[in-house]
């Protein structure tokens, strides 16, 4: 019989496979902060914009929620991790800004510098 | 396309100078050579915060951090790590610790630079509602390690050796609590997670649970194994619906994967967790009151000893720890007590999470190693005071803590130094106060809170805080009398010594510490009927300046007709009639009315 340690290693490998199968290895990963504080600042609406964009045919993007990273005064935050580029964090994102991030950053690869955390 | 390896190159300002561009080219060239380009993904990250070892290269899996890498080293690294699956010892930095295996938070260098995230290691990194995400970051590995051959006694001694102290506020050594509970002979024992976070302005526990619920669950299972309990209870306030939801989801997922329930991971150990919702009474954060509340009684404390470790929930030995304490357990188990105790100061080990609030630029959640000074938190991480205002005080420990003035800014943060300075570590609330706030008013605010939340069981707390509050209210209304300060001190010390539980014993702290550090302000309130910050409205004096155009808005707004003046001529306030309501001040469109302290 396998030991708990062997079991956990197997479970981890399975978990990583499942994450990969959800499209984790897309060239762009988008994380939207979704803790109570961020939701209160409006991150649910922001998340909605991204998931709607995915439904409307935005491909090669992995969308996930995340907990609060502690940047309370800059919430909601959206993080974009892009293959071969430095990850960026957008702060105080509104649904309108999210739409533009989809159009400009995710579709055209242009980082909207003025909205980044300095 | 599945890629087997991820190479992360740091491209922070420091590493960039050290030629990370050339590194990238060297990596690409080498991958091409071995025809690995589609098996390996190259990731460029922002500053990883490890500049002194730069340029830094991280390769996953087998999380390995390579430091001071030159392009010439690349072939060797790829040969060894990727082709042979063996990390290259020569360049690897021995930092295989949970806290920095994740680089994503380090992007925002000013804010994260001085932080060290152990408790919050996964917060803002993983999807909290996904067990897969948690598993992918070595989740439940600590549990597996414990179940794969550590005796309960070994787990207890590991926690003891780590020097971890209770993060709920009092700072009792966690290992001793565990040992005491483990020593009890009983047919049934309980493990409780105290998530009844009630300090105004504190949200460490909420964020920890919302960002990474599984780490708390894992910590509790390990605790259950160590002390011989089969049942865990998370006591959390109903005001945290999202945290509750994520815990419920986490518990269900952990059960489905066999981390909770009967025969965990085939080890024969069984453990289960249930959630109890609290109604939000502050006193229920006190452990004996919390236990009463779970039992279905009114949440009131009882005298200790017997401590809950001996006689707790339903009179059974009970191990009760705070959320943050639990979240540290998996790290201690995986990385070892020795490493954990290397962080922090002599008597306070590890890190502490603080909720930074008040008059500070970067409000938020920060986690720093013990021994960091207040100054570093306020000015380096917090970014200083907004609008060029002057720093006046910092309030630590919530309503049980005290206010420290500027002279204490170099105090290193640990349980003992803060206590010596006249405040407490507390659960981690940290409120920065600038020159616009009145210290008497702040003390009144906190006392109002504890007075409201006093359960009423013991007289010193019930009656004493009420009397103190009456005196403070009198002071802020400009009706202070000579001798009030001494009365407050006498009452405060009496309540501290004679109250039944922590709530009463610490309730006078905000008052006593502000008297100690800002006595002048109290004296001004009494003798001069003056509030230098202009915050006590009853003592304010409103005056019309020559900016007045005589529009008459203030005259119409004044409820007691204290303002007179002809149209288009400067108006005047009759100070004898004025009731200091401030309506004229707020209604004036020309900023012609000023408020004086």
Beta bridge partners of B357: B431
Same domain, residue pair B455 and B583: no
* pLDDT at residue number B3: 56
Same domain, B199 and B302: yes
**Least-confidence region, from A23-32, B329-338, B427-436, B481-490:** A23-32
Mean pLDDT lowest for which of B247-251, B268-272, B538-542?
B538-542
B50 lies in the same domain as B165 = no
Same domain? B141 vs B245 = yes
- Pair of tokens at residue B15: 């590493």
Q: Is B513 left (phi over 0), alpha (psi -120 to 50) or beta?
A: alpha
Distance of alpha carbon B217 from alpha carbon A75, whole angstroms? 27
d(CA B273, CA B214): 12
Q: Where residue B13 sits, what CATH number does that domain have?
A: 3.40.30.10
Whether residue B533 is contained in a domain is answered as no
* Per-residue pLDDT tens digits for B423-443: 888 888 999 999 889 999 999
pLDDT of residue B83: 86
- In this complex, which of A70, A79, A86 lies closest to B365 when CB atoms are compared? A70
Q: What are the pLDDT digits (tens) for B547-593?
A: 999 999 999 999 999 999 999 899 999 988 888 888 898 899 998 99
Chain A CB contacts of B122 below 8 Å: 67
B329 and B238 in one domain? yes
Residue B104 in any domain: the answer is: no
CB contact under 8 A, B362 and A15: no
For residue B84, pLDDT beyond 90: no
- B78/B18: higher pLDDT: B78
B85-102 confidence digits (pLDDT tens): 888 888 887 765 655 555
Give the CATH number, domain containing residue B520: 1.20.1440.230
Rounded Cα gap, residues B159 and B582, in angstroms: 57
Å between A88 CA and nearest CA of chain B:
8
Residue B479 pLDDT exceeds 60: yes
| pLDDT at residue B108, rounded to an integer | 65
Q: Is residue B119 part of a domain?
A: no
pLDDT by residue (tens digit) across B46-61?
766 667 777 888 887 7
Last-in-domain residue among B498, B528, B558? B528
On the question of pLDDT at B295 being above 80, the answer is yes
The residue among A4, A38, A39, A75 with the most chain B CBs within 10 A of its CB, best to mutate, is A4
Q: How many domains are contained in chain B? A: 5
Domain end point (choices B407, B434, B461): B434
Please indicate, yes or no, whether residues B146 and B262 belong to a single structural domain of this protein: yes
B381 and B469 belong to one structural domain:
no
**Mean predicted confidence (pLDDT) in B307-329:** 96
E-strand ranges in A1-118 read: 28-33, 61-66, 78-82, 88-90
Distance CA B248, CA B260 (A): 13
pLDDT of residue B145: 95
B209 plus B82 within the same structural domain: no
Query: In the CATH scheme, what is the code of domain A24-115?
Result: 3.40.30.10
pLDDT tens digits along B366-424: 999 999 999 999 998 899 999 888 999 999 988 889 999 999 999 999 999 998 988 88
Strand B364-369, strand B318-322: pairing: unpaired
pLDDT above 90: residue B243 = yes
Please write the tens of the pLDDT for every residue from B98-129.
555 555 554 566 777 778 888 988 888 889 99
- Examine residue B125 and state whether it is found in any structural domain, yes or no: no
Residue B15 domain flag: yes
* Whole-number Cα distances in Å, B282 to B15, B102, B277: 48, 35, 13
Co-location of B373 and B487 in the same domain: no
The pLDDT score that the predictor gives to residue B107 is 55
pLDDT in the model for residue B515: 95
CB contact under 8 A, B364 and A79: no
User: Across residues B208-219, what is the average pLDDT?
Assistant: 95
| Predicted local distance difference test score (pLDDT) of residue B2 | 44
Residues B227 and B295 in one domain: yes
Looking at B342-476, list the stretches that DSSP marks H as alpha helix, in order from N- to C-terminal side: 374-375, 415-421, 439-453, 459, 465-476
Can you give the CATH number for the domain in which B562 is found? 3.30.70.20
Mark yes or no for CB contact A67/B147 under 8 Å: no
Q: Has residue B108 been placed in a domain?
A: no
Q: Is B1 exposed, middle or buried (0-12, 13-18, 19+ CB in 10 A)?
A: exposed
Q: How high is the pLDDT of residue B1? A: 32
Residues of A with CB under 8 A from a CB of B: 1-5, 7-8, 11-12, 15-16, 18-20, 25, 33, 35-37, 39, 64-73, 79, 81, 83-89, 117-118
Once rounded to an integer, what is the mean pLDDT over residues A25-49? 91
Q: Which domain holds residue B35?
A: 5-96
Are B387 and B451 members of one domain?
Answer: no
Local confidence band at A106 (pLDDT 50, 70, 90 cut-offs): very high
- Share above pLDDT 90 across residues of chain B, in percent, rounded to a whole number: 62
* A100 CA: distance to closest CA in chain B (Å): 22
For range A111-115, the mean pLDDT: 90
Same domain (yes/no): B137, B275: yes
Residues 218-247 of B with CB under 8 A from A: 240, 242-243
């Amino acid at each position: 019989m396998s030991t708990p340690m062997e079991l956990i290693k197997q479970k981890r490998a399975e978990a990583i496979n499942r994450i990969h199968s959800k499209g984790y290895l897309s060239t762009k990963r988008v994380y939207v902060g979704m803790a109570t504080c961020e939701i209160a600042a409006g991150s649910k609406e922001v998340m909605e914009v991204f998931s709607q964009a995915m439904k409307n045919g935005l491909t090669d993007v992995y969308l996930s929620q995340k907990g609060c990273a502690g940047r309370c005064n800059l919430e909601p935050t959206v993080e974009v991790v892009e293959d071969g580029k430095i990850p960026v964090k957008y702060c105080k994102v509104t649904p309108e800004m999210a739409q533009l991030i989809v159009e400009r950053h995710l579709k055209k690869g242009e980082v909207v510098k003025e909205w980044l955390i300095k | 396309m599945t890629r087997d390896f991820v190479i992360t190159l740091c491209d922070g300002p420091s590493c960039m100078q050290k030629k990370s561009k050339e590194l990238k080219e060297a990596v690409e060239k080498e991958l091409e050579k071995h025809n690995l380009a589609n098996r390996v993904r190259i990731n460029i990250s922002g500053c990883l915060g490890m500049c002194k070892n730069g340029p830094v290269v991280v390769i996953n899996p087998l999380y390995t951090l390579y430091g001071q890498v030159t392009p010439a080293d690349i072939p060797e690294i790829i040969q060894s790590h990727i082709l042979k699956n063996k990390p290259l010892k020569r360049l690897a930095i021995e930092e295989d610790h949970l806290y920095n295996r994740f680089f994503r938070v380090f992007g925002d260098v000013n804010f994260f630079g001085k932080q060290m995230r152990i408790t919050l290691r996964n917060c803002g990194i993983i999807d909290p509602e996904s067990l897969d995400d948690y598993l992918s970051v070595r989740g439940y590995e600590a549990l597996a390690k414990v179940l794969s051959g550590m005796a309960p006694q070994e787990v207890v001694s590991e926690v003891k050796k780590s020097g971890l102290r209770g993060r709920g506020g009092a700072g009792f050594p966690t290992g001793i609590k565990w040992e005491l509970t483990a020593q009890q002979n009983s047919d049934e024992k309980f493990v409780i997670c105290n998530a009844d976070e009630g300090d105004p302005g504190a949200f460490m526990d909420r964020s920890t649970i919302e960002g990474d619920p599984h780490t708390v669950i894992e910590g509790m299972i390990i605790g259950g194994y160590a002390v011989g309990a089969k049942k865990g209870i998370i006591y959390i306030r109903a005001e945290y619906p999202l945290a509750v939801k994520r815990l419920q989801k986490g518990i269900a997922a952990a059960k489905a994967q066999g981390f909770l329930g009967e025969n965990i991971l085939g080890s024969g150990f069984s453990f289960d967790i249930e959630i109890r919702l609290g109604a939000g009474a502050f006193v229920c954060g006190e452990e004996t009151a919390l236990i009463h509340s779970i039992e279905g009684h009114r949440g009131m404390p009882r005298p200790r000893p017997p401590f809950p470790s001996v006689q707790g929930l339903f009179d059974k030995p009970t191990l009760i720890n705070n959320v943050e304490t639990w979240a540290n357990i998996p790290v201690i188990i995986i990385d070892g007590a020795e490493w954990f105790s290397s962080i922090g100061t002599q008597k306070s080990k590890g890190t502490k999470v603080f909720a930074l609030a008040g008059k500070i630029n970067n409000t938020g959640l920060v986690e720093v190693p013990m021994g960091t000074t207040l100054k570093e938190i306020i000015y380096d991480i917090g970014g200083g005071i907004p609008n060029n205002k002057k720093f006046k005080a910092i309030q630590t420990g919530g309503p049980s803590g005290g206010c420290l003035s500027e002279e204490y800014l170099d105090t290193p943060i640990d349980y003992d130094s803060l206590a010596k300075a006249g405040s407490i570590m507390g659960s981690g609330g940290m409120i920065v106060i600038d020159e616009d706030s009145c210290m008497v008013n702040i003390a009144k605010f906190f006392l109002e809170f504890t007075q409201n939340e006093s359960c009423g069981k013991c007289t010193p707390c019930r009656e004493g805080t009420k009397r103190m509050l009456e005196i403070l209210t009198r002071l802020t209304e400009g009706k202070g009398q000579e001798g009030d300060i001494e009365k407050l001190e006498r009452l405060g010390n009496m309540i501290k010594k004679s109250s039944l539980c922590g709530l009463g014993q610490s309730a006078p702290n905000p008052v006593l510490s502000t008297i100690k550090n800002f006595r002048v302000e109290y004296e001004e309130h009494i003798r001069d009927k003056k509030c230098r910050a202009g915050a006590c409205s009853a003592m304010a004096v409103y005056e019309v300046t020559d900016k007045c155009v005589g529009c008459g808005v203030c005259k119409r707004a004044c409820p007691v007709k204290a303002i007179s003046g002809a149209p288009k001529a400067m108006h005047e306030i009759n100070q004898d009639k004025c009731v200091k309501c401030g309506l004229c001040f707020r209604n004036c469109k020309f900023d012609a009315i000023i408020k004086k302290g």
